[in-house]
Amino acid sequence: MSTLFSFSPRSPHNAFLPLTRQRLRQRRGGLLVRFSLASLDFLDSDPPLPPAVQTFWKWMTEEGVISSSTCPLKPAYVPEGLGLIARRDIAEDEIILRVPRRLWVNPDTVAASEIGYLCTDLKPWAQVSLFLTRERLRPNSSWRFYIDILPEKTNSTIYWSEEELAELKGTLLLRMTKEMKEYVKSEFLKIEQEIIRPNKELFPSSITLDDFYWAFGMIRSRAFSRLTGQLAMLPLVDFINHSSKITREDNAEEMNGPAGLFSWDLLFCLKSTIPVKEGEQVFIQYGLKKNNADLALYYGFVERNSARDAYTFTFSIPESDPYYGDKVEIAKENDLDETAYFDVFMDRPITQAMLQYLRVAAIQQTDAFLLEPDQKLLEVGNLGERLDIAVRVRLGGKLVLQQIQLEFKERQLKLDAFEYYQERRFKELGLVGDIGEIYCQPKDSVPSV
């Protein structure tokens, strides 16, 4: 997750001083941390790794997360920016990283901090965002070595300018981005009013909305939640980049184990889901169900793979509908709501869930989309990273919509072969049941009683 690697300008200058082969001393949260460099020759790189990365790696070593003799990975420059490559052959399902709970950045971390008592009523993401923002502004933060390697920003659409966002006109990604930024802004203004301003002794440095956007973006792009049941940022694990070639997501587990020379802790264990040869980059899958709009919003990249092209439909049951209450009740019984979102992917059929929901809320508008302008832009090339993302998201959505139009036309031709009849509540509306079964029968069939 180290795509578009850059450093925070707020990083203390001494974090970038060259490291020598003597014992380096750094002060961390009042504790004197000593790094032994002699056993870390595998960090040698041409060109040299950024000093902040070297310092971070040595901190991880001192914390017992990395052992120079057993760690199968090392940081390196890769096409994505920075990543982790194998120091030796790695077997399928081999555990490659173990990060103890004391190094997770999660709501428990916030609760144990100076501002913990102020954050109890905040949403988990807001707690961690405020904590990260504050720690980033503290020169002597105990998390300084980790924060120094976090990028200043990514190509996530939450960091795009208004001019860049204009290239997304007509896409759900534009609406998602604007709604997300507005939601984060409203939460920040509330935090600023209720927590930051009344407690200036705990927040001596000015915290801006952009600072809060930065922290939120780091969480969205780097946090894990699959195992811990809550979001957690995991130092070192978030160095690993995404690859579409990885088709498994079962890459992590939690277990109790040694977390240092004399300590025992709950460990987040990451494993490689495929064999990796020495010198090759290690990858994980960021989400098989995510479409290109999701990838652009969360991580700031898209896959050049039509399987990720999707269009997200938003359907709502209008309050003016005379059967509004009953329709919403039925939707909720099927794990949906008065507003539902459905992703339709390229070359995949429309889901049954979407068809069922369409019996409750009908599509009220049609769209005509022209593919040629975007295809020409891609053929010309040299678009720049963000414009390239925008064009590919637009084009992917248009292709999917064309596919959906064809599918609906085919279904429309079959409608004359069916008739709907009443049985129980709302059967005349076709709210429940599968097409061709129970509530929708061919004209020559006899309804069951």
Active-site residue numbers? 286
Alpha carbons 164 and 172: distance in angstroms, whole number: 15
Could you tell me how far CA 397 lies from the centroid of its own chain?
A: 20
Which letter does DSSP use for residue 14 in this model? G
Alpha carbons 84 and 76: distance in angstroms, whole number: 6
Q: Which residue has the tokens 């020759």?
A: 41
Is residue 238 part of an annotated ligand binding site? yes
Cα–Cα nearest to 124, from 220, 254, 55:
220
Q: Residue 351: which residues within 8 A CB-CB, separation 6 or more?
A: 342, 344
The pair of structure tokens assigned to 418 is 């069916």
Is residue 357 part of an annotated ligand binding site? no
Please answer whether residues 240 and 73 qualify as being in contact, where contact means their C-beta atoms are separated by less than 8 angstroms. no
The pair of structure tokens assigned to 43 is 């960090």
Is residue 326 part of an annotated ligand binding site? no
Q: Which residue has the tokens 């194998």?
A: 86
DSSP letters, 407-437, are HHHHHHHHGGGEEE---STTGGGT-SS-TTS
Helix ranges restricted to H, 272-384 = 292-298, 324-333, 352-358, 372-380
Is residue 299 part of an annotated ligand binding site? yes
Cα–Cα nearest to 177, from 360, 289, 300, 2:
300
Is residue 81 part of an annotated ligand binding site? yes
Is residue 292 part of an annotated ligand binding site? no
> 271 has which bridge partners?
95
Is residue 183 part of an annotated ligand binding site? no
By CB atoms closer than 10 A (0-12, 13-18, 19+), residue 358 is middle
The pair of structure tokens assigned to 304 is 């050049």
Q: What are phi and psi of 436, to 5 degrees?
A: 90, -5
Alpha carbons 260 and 279: distance in angstroms, whole number: 27
Q: What angle do CA 420, 423, 427 make, to 5 degrees?
A: 55
Please answer whether residues 44 and 75 qualify as being in contact, where contact means their C-beta atoms are separated by less than 8 angstroms. no
Is residue 83 part of an annotated ligand binding site? no
Q: What angle do CA 98, 100, 104 make, to 5 degrees?
A: 110
Q: What are phi and psi of 272, to 5 degrees?
A: -85, 130
Give, for 128, the enclosing helix (H) or strand (E). Answer: helix 124-136
Burial string for 206-242 (b: 16+ CB within 10 Å, else e) reads ebeeebbbbbbbbbbbbbbeeebebbbbbbbbbbbbb
Residues tagged in the binding site annotation for S-adenosyl-L-methionine: 80-82, 241-242
Which residues are annotated binding-site positions?
80-82, 222, 226, 238, 241-242, 286, 299
Residue stretches of the annotated binding site for substrate: 222, 226, 238, 286, 299
